[in-house]
Amino acid sequence: MKHSVFKIGVLVMIVAALGASIGYWYALRSTHPVQKNMADTAMKGDKVLYWYDPMKPDQHFDKPGKSPFMDMPLVPKYAGEAGGSQSGVRINPNMRQNLGIRLAPVERGVLSQSLDAAANVVFNDRDVAIIQAKSSGFVERVYARAPGDVISRGSPIADLLMPEWAGAQTEYLAMLGAKDGDLAAAAKARLKLLGVPNDLIARIERTGKIYPVVTVSTPLHGVIQSLDVREGMTVAAGATLARVNGIAIVWLEAEIPEAQGSLVTVGKRMEAHLPAYPGELFRGRVIAVLPQVSSDTRTIRVRMELPNPGDRLKPGMFAQVKLEAGKIGPVLLVPSESVIRTGQRTLVILAQDGGRFQPVEVETGLEAGGRTVILKGLAEGQKVVSSGQFLIDSEASLDGVLARLGGNAPDMRMHDIKLHEGTGVVESIGAGDITISHGPIPSIEWGAMTMTFALAKPELAASIHRGDKVHFGFMQHKDRYVIQTLEKTGSGK
């Protein structure tokens, strides 16, 4: 009996030892890839550059120990890890589509310069008629007119009785009757000096009558801007009776940035679209570039003219205009959306081999049609990031890289942009965040905890409720963790 018990005990010890060996072997096989890569790197003898907390990767420490932020050990960063000493950002190819990163080539071409600007229809101040009394007299009649009325050329404004004109006409007829050519010529010259129009003089000669009452009419088609005459008034010579603004040709006035003022010259063609007439294209030309820059808006006023058949274009209407500005080239061009202006320098994110992205300082020229001229910093055939560059910036702490652009700081290393995944239970949902009690997340070396995440889009949680089981994917955005994908896997009810 004792011998049997002894055999059983030995068998148990052997099984336990074998289980421990298998467990150790399995643990080695299932070690998190990050830890395994670190172990492999350490076995190669690479130098440790610094230690860091995965929760705060931008904070570096010169020796190992526990993180001051979380209850976890600091992780070493090796010289041979993640691309050695190359600076920039490396993105997993599987993540590029999730981040919405698009590339555009640096190409050589011709830049068609054109300017888009908002404009307003205004009166043509070169087409104005001031209607005055050419002699003193009395207003006998005012025709049915009012400011704002549109009147045709030759339309009557008022009837004036002018005694001085009547006396001069009587004298002229007397000289004609006396058959004294010299005196008649002198009397006719006096009529002209008094402002009597030639057609009225011809009528006097033809009918032999005097016309003391004269009808004053407008010399052009347009809008009455002011009407300063009333029946029964006494008017002096030179008094303004009305002001009429022509509308056969109207102006468009636009303001353009002073930096683009040199692109616009008199005579350039322009096209205009008006919301009042959708689908119609109106064409005109630039007639003036005003010589003064607004000190408030730093813009230059450009004046254009448009024909106005049918009086369809009315002062005050809004228009969107496109101005021709010529062509330059061939030059290096990139999409304007790929250019990052920090205030101190201008940069683009250059795509390199192996999924690497590097900030490059450039010198830019003119911009038109969504494209920008590159004067210095890039070469034809290279590719730049045209969408998603700010995600690269924030995810990889690119602010620090940009600040040290061109430097040799030892911490300018490659970073990996990863989507970390986990499962958990929703504790609460806010306006732009969600709190989840989740299990361990090996990719970022987190243990189980309850944590609040920001939502990349509020609609991600539209069908999620408190207590639901979820599977989620997130990435680090500077000092925040932002959920990019959120899927309900079970109901909390």
Looking at the structure of the chain, the number of domains it has is 5
pLDDT of residue 97: 65
Percentage of the chain surpassing pLDDT 70? Answer: 77
Domain CATH for 365: 2.40.420.20
Euclidean distance between CA atoms 335 and 326, whole angstroms: 19
- 217 beta partners: 156
pLDDT of residue 8: 43
> Burial of 470 by CB count in 10 Å (0-12 exposed, 13-18 middle, 19+ buried)?
buried
Looking at the structure, tell me whether residues 270 and 310 fall in a common domain. yes
Looking at the structure, tell me whether residues 430 and 476 fall in a common domain. yes
Maximum C-alpha span of the chain: 172
Looking at the structure, tell me whether residues 132 and 240 fall in a common domain. yes
Select from 317, 350, 377 the last residue of a domain.
317
Residue carrying the six token digits 């205030």: 343
How many CB atoms sit inside 10 A of residue 325's CB?
20
pLDDT of residue 33: 39
Select from 244, 259, 289 the last residue of a domain.
244
Residue 417 has pLDDT above 60, yes or no: no
For residue range 249-304, what is the model confidence (pLDDT) as tens digits?
A: 999 999 998 877 877 889 989 999 999 999 999 999 999 999 999 888 899 999 99
Select from 218, 244, 270 the last residue of a domain.
244
For residue range 177-227, what is the model confidence (pLDDT) as tens digits?
A: 888 888 889 999 999 898 888 888 999 989 989 999 999 999 999 999 999
More confident residue, 326 or 103: 103
Segment among 23-37, 77-91, 355-369, 370-384 with least mean pLDDT: 23-37
Side-chain half-sphere exposure of 295, counting CA atoms within 13 A:
0
Give the Cα-Cα-Cα angle 377, 382, 383 (nearest 5 degrees). Answer: 105
pLDDT of residue 324: 80
Residue 133 belongs to some domain of the structure: yes
Domain CATH for 159: 2.40.50.100
Q: Can you read off the two tokens belonging to residue 263?
A: 């692109």
pLDDT of residue 159: 94
Euclidean distance between CA atoms 157 and 147, whole angstroms: 12
pLDDT of residue 3: 47
Looking at the structure, tell me whether residues 369 and 455 fall in a common domain. no
Q: Which domain holds residue 281?
A: 248-317
pLDDT of residue 391: 60
- What's the average model confidence in pLDDT over 223-240? 92
The pLDDT mean for the chain works out to 80
Looking at the structure, tell me whether residues 253 and 349 fall in a common domain. no
Helix-strand-coil percent breakdown of the chain, rounded to 5? Answer: 25, 45, 35
More confident residue, 313 or 19: 313
Res. 57 pLDDT band, cuts 50 70 90: low
Residue 132 one-letter amino acid:
Q
Residue 26 belongs to some domain of the structure: no
Q: From residue 125, how far is each of 79, 145, 225, 244, 410 by CA, in Å?
A: 74, 21, 12, 10, 67
Residue 291 belongs to some domain of the structure: yes
How many CB atoms sit inside 10 A of residue 321's CB?
24
Looking at the structure, tell me whether residues 137 and 234 fall in a common domain. yes
Q: Can you read off the two tokens belonging to residue 492?
A: 């909390």
- What's the average model confidence in pLDDT over 150-163? 93
Residue 9 has pLDDT above 60, yes or no: no
Looking at the structure, tell me whether residues 137 and 236 fall in a common domain. yes
Residue 202 belongs to some domain of the structure: yes
Looking at the structure, tell me whether residues 136 and 207 fall in a common domain. yes
pLDDT of residue 94: 63
Is 491 within 8 Å of 468 (Cβ atoms)?
Answer: yes
Euclidean distance between CA atoms 232 and 247, whole angstroms: 31
Segment among 294-303, 416-425, 479-488 with least mean pLDDT: 416-425
Residue 10 has pLDDT above 70, yes or no: no
Q: Can you read off the two tokens belonging to residue 110?
A: 């011709």
Looking at the structure, tell me whether residues 137 and 165 fall in a common domain. yes
